[in-house]
Homo-oligomer: A and B are copies of this chain.
């Protein structure tokens, strides 16, 4: 009975995210989420009364994780640009998973998810702009980050992508 660090609620959200990321939204059913979290369906519905509430719970947690990430980015040793690009590649962290999961939900026409993702993007951009004082460069770097992120989530992983980007950004004096 020991060795179970996270509480059930978080484990359910973890399971929901994992299914969304690895198998897509069609596979992320209540039954599947409950099974993945090793909880009965009744147990799931005790914590989240509907699938909608599951989504809400996930997005609320995402915003919290996002605030922490932005803070880390702002104070990163190697600077926010390097931090942003490095973490745009899916490292398999909890935050990465939550981000990808929210993307899946956003695609189902769910404005709650698009809003959350849009807010995160604004926070990141503000840090980039504050550091670079160059809107075009900040926007372009954000797009590169989006590209890295997109490639990762679509399984189009190009191993040396980050190296090439660093090369180009060095030419621009942005790194």
- A90 CB-CB contact with B under 8 Å: no
Whether the pair B22, A109 counts as a contact (CB closer than 8 A) is: yes
Residues of B within 8 A of A163 (CB): 136
Chain B residue contacts of A165, Cβ below 8 A: 136, 139-140, 143
| CB–CB A150/B146 < 8 A | yes
Complex Cα distance, B163 from A134, in Å, reads: 13
Q: Is A64 interfacial (CB-CB < 8 Å)? A: no
Query: Does A167 sit within 8 A of B, measured CB to CB?
Result: yes
Residues of B with C-beta under 8 A to A151: 143, 146
Q: Decide if B142 touches A147 in the complex (CB within 8 Å).
A: yes
Spot the interface stretch: A66-74, A76-84, A100-108.
A100-108
| A8-16, A38-46, A54-62, A113-121 - the one binding chain B | A113-121
- Expressed in whole angstroms, the Cα–Cα distance for A118 and B137 within the complex equals 28
- Is the beta-carbon distance between B25 and A137 smaller than 8 angstroms? no
Contact A168 B25 (CB under 8 A): no
A172: min CB distance to chain B, Å: 6
Q: Which of B104, B117, B136, B172 contacts A107 (CB 8 A)?
A: B104
Residue of B114, B154, B168 touching A106 (CB-CB under 8 A)? B154
Known contacts A140-B167, A143-B161, A147-B147; can you find 8 more A-B pairs with CB under 8 A?
Answer: A24-B25, A25-B25, A106-B155, A114-B156, A118-B155, A139-B165, A140-B144, A150-B150
Q: Which 6 A-B residue pairs are closest in the complex by CB-CB distance?
A: A143-B147, A146-B147, A24-B108, A136-B164, A147-B147, A150-B150
A-B pairs with beta carbons under 8 Å apart, 14 shown: A24-B109, A25-B107, A27-B109, A117-B154, A118-B155, A139-B164, A140-B164, A140-B165, A143-B143, A143-B144, A143-B151, A146-B148, A147-B150, A171-B172
